[in-house]
Amino acid sequence: VTQSTTRPRRAGTDGAQTAREARLARDGRKRPATKALDNPLREGLRLERMPDPFAFVLFGATGDLAHRKVIPALYQLWRTHLLPHEFCLVAFGRRDYDDESYRQEIRGSLEKHSRVLPLDETAWRQFSERIVYQRGDFSDDAAFERLGTRLEEVSRTAGTLGNVLFYLATQSSAFAEIVGGLGRAGLDHEVHTSGWRRIVIEKPFGRDLDSAVRLNREVGKVFRERQVYRIDHYLGKETVRNLLVFRFGNGIFEPIWNRRYVDHVQITVAEAIGIENRGSFYEETGAARDILQNHLLQLVTLVAMEPPVAFTADALRNEKVKVLRAIAEMTSAEQAGRDIVRGQYGRGWVEGEEVPGYREEPEVDPESETETFVAAKLEVDDWRWGGVPFYLRTGKRLPKRATEIAIQFKAVPHRLFADANADPEPNLLAIRIQPDEGILLRFSSKVPGLGLDIRPVNMDFTYGSSFSVDSPDSYETLILDALLGDQSLFTRSDEVEAAWTIVTPIIEAWTGMPPPEFPDYPAGTWGPEAAEELIRRDGRSWRRI
Amino acid sequence: MASTSAPRRSRPTRPAVAGPGEPLLRWSSRATTIAGIQLELARIWSEPKLVASVDGVEERRIAARTSVMNLVVIALRPEIGKRAAATIARLTGRHPSRTLIVLARDPEGRNSLRARIEAHCILPRADAPETCAEMIHLEVGGQAGRHLAAVVAPLLVHDLPVTLWWPDEPPFGAPEAEALFRMADRLVVDGSSWGGDGLDRLSRMAATVQAHGLAVSDLALVRQSRWREAIASVFDMPGLLPYLRYVRRIAVTYAAAEASAPAGGVNVVKPVYHVAWLASRLGMTVREPVALRAERRRSQGTGAAARVHAGLLEGPHGEVKVTIGPLASELPSGTTLRVELLCDRRGSELRAAITAAAETVDAQAWVDGLSVLQRSYLAPRRTDVDLLEEAVESGTRDPVAAATIRFAAELAARPSVERPDPVASEQVT
């Protein structure tokens, strides 16, 4: 078979192209028409769509991410018949394995990390037959040449039709090197004889605006934007995806989803765990880079975005980018000091166990100034949200693992029940992302009895009780999307840069400030006092989660 | 029917806790009147002794009662009811419903109603509260069995959609069945289980569906989703897509005990659905409905004439021949073995063949004799639970399925002059 399935169709074949269409097409920005639109037999089959045959080249194949997430996700997709027979996992790593010993290694890690255990022996046998190991060093051009030869061989023997997905599950410092190597070996080429080529890049994508722009440029020299899938696994979570359905699939919420009715928004990404033996990584990263720049800002965009014109990758991402651009930058250190709080945990108790402080963790500088907690007050300065603060917080070693978006509505305009024992509380809509995924709406109700007591009650929807079925892991969702060529849940280059435009000035402002007095919150508490003050001074408080 | 509540026995059952995802019978009681059933349903949820034993210690788990739909099963034979109940219990987790399994028996006997009320619960996760759904087994005797709608209606949870699952042969057109169709939002049937070639009933179903504005899920059609996937995949290739508008022939081969046996005895609903799906997607119309005719098969070389269904469609670029023929096979009769498409575009010929293998569906395509595609799709045999789940999961109306069934009915239409429809008089609108 010789056709490439993903090359963009020429825009305007039936008539003249506009200059803009021509430019967009040239820039690779215009998403190729989807198969579903082209092929009338695809209508109604979307959920059943099966990816084209493909080779999955996994860089960092011996690393933690590959073992814990990527390969279990692929195995699960295979086990549930969502991958074509003609697929091959080409594991690329520096360590000295051969096909068989690598398969044994994978078997061991699947037995620990697979979502469904015990392993299905038949599925594992078929899956393992499709795994090959390719030894090589990222800095060695010859290794990429050998990879190219192996891919040609795989294309012939496994029938993968030349379609290749490159997955970078390595340290971020290796991204540019790998992309360069792929480019020099010509492995990015989508010529008509060799199927599609796509690349999935893990976070963190850069460590500030400059490095993100540089990395985008390096990637852009080799791959077109439509070939690039920057992964943020939060976007693959079921509840996050449901947020779009909740907002745009229901008529009753969108009319009140604005400054007129919403008092403020709170988004919490709390982790009970510490840094889990990743001290050297975290020392270089910190909470602002690790969570705020990607997960938290992505959640803000999904809450605040305007309805997209279509449910397509670029229509969605266009709206998300607008939100990021509308978030006021922290242009001064003073502003950053006022609206952003950082913190670091000290020794304390979490889930009934005493845990060390951050500075006592392995591979961490005893004088470290790395933040393990960030709280921020941001404003989305647009027509819909002007004047509505978005309070965000994330941290390690908080009392529990919880991710939640809370839309706090304004109080009723008129105190009708002034004689009641308590004023009605303003309505609240809480979208729990993990754990106990669900949606809660709080409203006031009269307490039964002769008096007029008003109490808030909850209308609570829990995914677990309405659909007691396992949601797919976010990696399964996202890998399948990448294989199907759907970029909706992946971050576009301008989106990454816009997010860094918000976060970089904050990080830079911190470097110009006097050293923080860390640690400033005991492990097992909801962050430093300054975080409480950040919201308290506006007459509000963090939700008790 | 008696209006007083008869004596009843009720017992919360106390088995050990099942693992997460495993359904468990947690309550069972009996009643003989509608009012009695309603009382029992209320008692289930006020019963303080819904307990489970965990490591030898009895503890109560908070049971959340959930329903996303009413599921009414009309079982004309007890074994069908039993099988349906087992299937539905396994569906509790994903689609908790109030289920009524209705069995009409002894129509000449005394009016009677016997009901067994059960609560089936599952633990979504080990640490989550239980989710429970109600299942009511109803045995309706005497004349009441001809008025099942009157028994079912008061037991439905209001404001929830009603799915009517008729596992056997629904008597489309019969007044008692029509009354049930009227109260349903969705009808679930299995066209491949119908007697004869199934085509008469298919036509009558299409008329009923249209008359009542019912959404319909035919498990025979649901079962073929992997086939549709495989067929569609051929035309995902940009080079082959243009041929799709130039289909000249659609041929479907199905399994039969003997290829030369009279085809009228084998249910051909599934093969007809293949043609109907393709034709409705491609904007074709029926010029001549399929009719049986004898055809000598070159490939078999036995000299025996197979009886095939042949018809004629009108496509965007001319006529399209349809043949649906049997092939001797050990597989269950009526199982699709192969779907072939022949396209002729400006002198270039595309032939696509989708074939069933042991665990896969294989797609192959040739352009002017040269192989351009060879792919396999895993197609594991799906259980009743999978099929029912997919059928009810499609939620509201599935326009593709509706169009396919409508087209299949047109394709199967029997010309009244040559062969009077023996059931036409039963049809109601």
Q: What is the pTM of this model?
A: 0.71
Q: Contacts of residue A85 in chain B, CB cutoff 8 Å?
A: 360, 375-378
Contact A324, A297 (CB under 8 A): yes
Q: Give the whole-angstrom CA distance, residue B371 versus residue B356.
A: 19
What's the pLDDT tens digit per position in B287-301?
Answer: 999 988 877 655 444
To test the contact with chain A by mutation, choose from B130, B233, B245 the residue with the greatest count of A C-beta atoms within 10 A, namely B233
Bridge pairing between strands B247-256 and B285-296: unpaired
What is the structure's pLDDT at B123? 73
Residue B225 touches partner A, C-beta closer than 8 Å:
yes
Tell me the pLDDT of chain B (429 aa) as tens digits.
Answer: 433 344 344 555 544 455 566 777 777 889 998 888 988 888 877 665 555 555 555 555 656 666 778 899 998 888 888 888 888 877 766 677 889 999 988 878 888 899 999 888 877 666 666 777 889 999 998 888 888 888 898 888 877 889 999 988 899 988 889 889 988 989 999 999 998 889 999 999 999 988 888 889 999 998 888 889 889 888 887 788 899 999 999 999 999 887 665 555 889 999 999 999 999 999 999 999 998 887 765 544 455 567 889 999 999 889 999 999 999 888 888 889 999 999 999 999 999 999 988 778 888 999 999 998 887 777 777 777 788 877 776 656 678 888 999 999 999 987 543 343 333 333 332
The minimum CA-CA distance between A544 and chain B, rounded to whole Å, is 21
- Distance CA(A339)–CA(A378), nearest Å, equals 7
The answer to whether residue A40 neighbours chain B at the CB level (below 8 Å) is: yes
- Chain A nearest C-alpha distance from B11 (Å): 25
Query: Distance (Å, rounded) from C-alpha B377 to C-alpha B324?
Result: 23
Contact A3 B68 (CB under 8 A): no
In Å, how far from its chain's centre is CA A107? Answer: 27
Q: In terms of C-beta distances under 8 Å and separation of at least 24 residues, what long-range contacts does A422-428 make, across chains too?
A: A422/A453, A422/A454, A422/A455, A423/A454, A424/A454, A424/A456, A425/A456, A426/A263
- How far A123 CA lies from chain B's nearest CA (Å)? 11
Closest residue in B to A469 (Cα) is B94
Which pair of structure tokens corresponds to residue A255? 């009319």
Cα-Cα end-to-end distance for chain A: 55
In the stretch 70-109 of chain A, residues with CB closer than 8 A to chain B read: 81, 84-86
Which of B125, B374, B377 is the closest to A50 by Cβ? B377
Give me the residue from A52, A86, A469 closest to B94, CB to CB: A469
Q: Give the 3-state DSSP-derived string for B335-375, with helices as H, strands as E and coil as C.
A: CEEEEEEEEEECCEEEEEEEEECCCEEEEEEEECCEEEEEE
- Which one-letter amino acid corresponds to residue A110? L
Cβ atoms A56, A90 nearer than 8 A: yes
Instruction: Assess B231–A contact: CB distance below 8 Å, yes or no.
Output: yes
Q: Residue B396's CB: how many other CB atoms inside 10 A?
A: 9
CB contact under 8 A, B241 and A38: yes
Residue of B nearest to A45 (CA): B229
Beta bridge partners of B163: B71, B186
pLDDT value of residue A445? 85
The identity of residue B347, as a single letter, is G
SS (H, E, C) A191-226: CCCCCCEEEEECCCCCCCHHHHHHHHHHHHHHCCHH
Q: Which residues contact A410 (CB under 8 A, 6 or more apart)?
A: A261, A262, A263, A426
Q: Is A295 a catalytic residue?
A: yes
Residue A132's DSSP bridge partners are: A90
Of A5, A85, A468, the CB nearest to B236: A5
A189 Cβ contact partners less than 8 Å away, ≥ 6 residues apart? A197
Distance from CA of B234 to the nearest CA of A (A): 10
Residue with tokens 């930058």, as numbered in its chain: A329
Report yes or no: A399 and A350 within 8 Å, Cβ to Cβ.
Answer: yes
Question: Could you list the pLDDT tens digit for every one of the 545 residues in chain A?
Answer: 233 333 333 333 333 344 444 444 444 444 444 444 478 888 877 444 678 889 999 999 998 889 999 999 999 999 887 888 889 999 999 889 999 999 999 999 999 988 888 888 888 999 999 999 999 999 999 999 999 999 999 988 888 888 999 999 998 889 999 999 999 999 888 866 568 999 999 888 888 999 999 999 999 999 999 999 999 888 888 777 788 999 999 999 999 999 999 999 999 999 989 988 788 889 988 999 999 999 999 999 999 999 999 888 889 999 999 999 999 776 677 778 889 999 999 998 887 778 999 999 999 999 999 999 999 999 999 999 999 999 999 999 998 888 999 999 999 888 888 776 667 889 999 998 877 778 889 988 887 777 777 888 888 777 755 555 566 788 998 999 999 888 988 999 999 999 999 999 999 999 888 888 999 999 989 999 999 999 999 999 998 88
Is A1 in contact with B373 (Cβ distance < 8 A)?
yes
Nearest-by-CA chain B residue for A44? B400
Question: What is the structure's pLDDT at B194?
Answer: 92
Using the beta-carbon criterion (under 8 Å), do B124 and A465 form an inter-chain contact?
yes
A3: nearest CB among B238, B278, B378: B238
A35 neighbourhood in chain B, CB within 8 Å: 236
> H-type helices in B105-249, by residue range?
148-152, 175-183, 199-212, 219-222, 225-234
Contact list in B for residue A42 (CB cut-off 8 A) is 232, 236
Q: Which of B24, B225, B281, B372 to mutate to test the interface with A (most CBs of A within 10 A)?
A: B281
List all residues of chain A from 134 to 163 with a beta carbon under 8 Å from chain B. 159
Question: B401 and A43 in contact by Cβ < 8 A?
Answer: no
Give the one of A53, A81, A468 whose C-beta lies nearest to B131's C-beta: A468
Task: Compute the distance between CA of residue B113 and CA of residue A447 in angstroms, rounded to an integer.
Answer: 42
**B378/A39 Cβ within 8 A:** no
- Inspect the interface and report whether the beta carbons of A1 and B241 lie closer than 8 Å: no
Mutation for B interface: A35, A126, A458, A465, most B CBs within 10 A: A465
Question: Looking up tokens 């009354």, which residue turns up?
Answer: B179
| Cβ-Cβ contacts under 8 Å, B232 against chain A | 39, 41-42, 45
Which is it for the CA torsion A21, A26, A30, A33, positive or negative? positive
CB B225 within 8 A of CB B253: no
Burial of A226 (C-beta count, 10 Å sphere; 0-12/13-18/19+): buried
Inter-chain residue contact B237 with A3, CB threshold 8 Å: yes
In degrees, rounded to 5, the angle at the alpha carbon of residue B266 between the alpha carbons of residues B262 and B267 is 145
3-class state of residue B48 by DSSP: coil
Query: What is the number of alpha carbons within 13 Å of residue B234 lying toward its C-beta?
Result: 31
Query: A with B: how many residue pairs have Cβ under 8 Å apart?
Result: 95
Q: Chain B 120-139, CB below 8 Å of chain A: which residues?
A: 122, 124-125, 128-129, 131
Structure tokens at A54: 């493909």
Residue appearing with tokens 């991410």: A65
Does the beta-carbon distance from B375 to A2 stay under 8 Å?
A: no
- Angle in degrees, 0-180, between the axes of helices A99-113 and A71-79, rounded to the nearest 10: 80
Mapping DSSP onto H, E and C, the string for A443-504 reads: EEEECCCCCCCEEEEEEEEEHHHHCCCCCCCHHHHHHHHHHHCCCCCCECHHHHHHHHHHHH
Q: Record the tokens describing residue A2, joined without a space.
A: 């010789």
**Dist CA B191 CA B214 (whole Å):** 16
Instruction: Please indicate if any CB of chain A lies within 8 Å of the CB of B374.
Output: yes
Q: What is the per-residue burial (b if ≥16 Cβ within 10 Å, else e) of A4-23?
A: bbbebeebeeeeeeeeeeee
Query: For residue B136, what pLDDT is reported?
Result: 93
Chain centroid to Cα B427, Å, comes to 21
B64, B235, B372 ranked by CB distance to A465: nearest: B64
Q: What is the pLDDT of residue A161?
A: 84
Q: Residue B9: what pLDDT? A: 45
Distance CA A193, CA A189 (A): 10
B162-165 and B69-75 beta bridge pairing: parallel
Chain A closest-CA separation from residue B400 CA (Å): 6
